A and B are shown apart, each in its own frame.
Chain A
Amino acid sequence: MSNQSFDINAKLGKSWKKPPLVQQKWLRWTLLTGFLVYLVLAYWSIDVNWARVYVGLERGQKFILAFTDPDFTSRSADIWEGITESIVMTVASSVVGIAISIPIALGAARNVAPLPVYLVCRGIIAISRALQEIIVAILLVAIFGFGPLAGFLTLSFATIGFLAKLLAEDIESMDRVQAEAIKASGARWAQWINYGVQPQVMPRLIGLSVYRLDINFRESAILGLVGAGGIGATLNTAFDRYEYGTAAAILLIIIVLVMALEYLSGAVRARVQ
């Protein structure tokens, strides 16, 4: 036993007890009381209107029942339009986002790019990651007007931060020896990237791209809430009209598509990695 203050006589005759998670007694109690005080304060400030919740439960039951009988037909034109718009936005933004993030990833890898380029590219990544999709979408809708273009730009911008960061990390952890061998054969910079770096990071790039496609579709489902195109607008309208059948149908379509995409991306990633 590595425990220095282990006194066998003090332990004899007593049954074993699980050691506590936090060793110091005062810290354990402070954390616990602090947590309880916080819970009470939070509950007080939330101020739940239980009567309203009770009334709503009936509606909730209706909505859950709607899942057993989803209504695909009465708004089928709207649903179809929204879903295709979501898919179109997803595909286009993934392509553009990936195309832009590859040079940025190269710039953000310290073993490929010089320091000034590195700092600029890391800055772009940090900005893209700090801003949430929905906030970017609000600003872009204000600037470019309603429609899928704003959604497309939002998703492309978000893709850059995600993909460039993870790809840059992969480039930074690549095998130097292979890249050096290509350089030693007298390759130009572009050839070096093409034959020394690219084959090493390609499996990861493909895996990340498919994964991002999956994320972009999920996000495209909510961009419609702020007018940036896609299925979200249709869904919002369905909720506003209390058309639970239609809302359930849309949610089921989203769940099925997300599951299909997740399965596809899992299969592709398993194959290339």
Chain B
Amino acid sequence: MMPTQDLAGSKIWQRRSGRESLFHWILWLLGIAIFAYCWQQISAATTWFFVWDAPRIADDIWTRATPPKWEYITQLGKPIWDTFNIATLGTIFALILAVPVAFLAARNTTPSRLFIRPVALLIIVSTRSINSLIWALLLIAIIGPGVFSGVVAIAIRSIGFCAKLLYEAIEEIDATQVEAISATGASRWQVMAYGIVPQVLPAFAGIAVFRWDINIRESTVLGLVGAGGIGLQLSSSLNVLAWPQVSLILLVILVAVVISEWVSAKVRGAII
């Protein structure tokens, strides 16, 4: 029955019944109260004098940062190459590690649902929920600053992402093909190689390129904590307030991100 409101004898349609709209009001009230509290917290931790001064400062930074120092680009070649390496090698290592994890995590290929699958899922969740910058921070404390820390950070961060997407693809495979291969008397590994792998290979390639694109993005900023790449130049330029260099680096990063997104979209379009 549609909720109606009796108004002077004639019934008028309403979207919600009285109880529903009361419930909605309470929900909204609660939401607004929570937001008000959060905003109050932020406001209390803010120096409002700086905020009122912000337009002037923004204008000041803009005049300092333009035009970008174009000749600085000659010094950016090596950092860009490093950034590219961090993303690419990180993705390759991540894929090498993610494949076994994904096969252990997928319900239809895991050797043991009770013991091994939870461990694989734990690896996926814990590597995924920590940002690559935090991994980089951690690895710099352990193996020292440099490109290698960046590669390992990107690799660890990507394991969970790749393994999650890959195991979902493995769980969605066509079981009849697998059965057909095992009906020929194939061993466990032969079933894997001829029944399962060909089915998930396109998904695997798609995931690899997708993650590579994300990793290019992330590796451009890893240098901020000392893990190599163009972020290192960004951080040192920021530290000496060399705004014309900062604006050039930001432009380069923007171009790199756009190119990698374009490449990844093209490759994924060709595969799928």
A residues apposed to B, CB below 8 Å: 18, 21, 38-39, 42, 45-49, 52-53, 56-57, 59-60, 63, 84-85, 88-89, 91-92, 95, 130-132, 134-135, 138-139, 142-145, 147-149, 152, 195, 218-219, 221-222, 225-226, 229, 232, 235-236, 239, 242, 247, 251, 254-255, 258-259, 262
Contact = CB atoms under 8 A, between A and B. Distances in A.
B45 A229 contact: yes
Question: Main SS of the interface on chain B?
Answer: helix
Of the listed residues B37, B88, B143, B201, the one surrounded by the most CB atoms of chain A closer than 10 A to its CB is B143
A218 B127 CA distance: 12
The 7 closest A-B CB pairs, nearest first, are A145-B50, A258-B129, A56-B143, A92-B38, A60-B142, A149-B46, A88-B38
Nearest to B49: A145
A239 B250 CA distance: 28
Contacts of B151: 46
Interface in B126-146: 126, 129-131, 133-134, 137-138, 140-144, 146
Contact of A218 (B126, B131, B138): B131
A147 B134 CA distance: 19
Interface size class, chain B: 35 or more
Contacts of A218: 129, 131
A239 B38 CA distance: 28
B144 A53 contact: yes
B45 A147 contact: yes
Nearest to A62: B142
Contact of B134 (A142, A145, A149, A221): A221
B221 A135 contact: yes
Interface string B31-52: 1001101110111011100110
26 contacts: A18-B194, A21-B201, A42-B89, A48-B148, A63-B141, A88-B41, A88-B42, A89-B38, A91-B34, A91-B38, A92-B39, A130-B254, A132-B221, A134-B224, A143-B58, A147-B45, A149-B42, A152-B42, A222-B131, A222-B133, A225-B133, A235-B134, A247-B138, A251-B134, A254-B130, A255-B129
A247 B125 CA distance: 18
B57 interface: yes
Contacts of B51: 144-145, 149
Contacts of B126: 255
B42 to A, nearest CB: 5
Interface of B: 15, 31, 34-35, 37-39, 41-43, 45-47, 50-51, 54, 57-58, 61, 81-82, 85, 88-89, 125-126, 129-131, 133-134, 137-138, 140-144, 146-148, 151, 194, 201, 217-218, 220-221, 224-225, 238, 250, 253-254, 257-258
A226 B57 CA distance: 18
Nearest to A134: B221
A131 B148 CA distance: 25
B137 A226 contact: no
A16 B123 CA distance: 39
A221 B133 CA distance: 10
Nearest to A43: B89
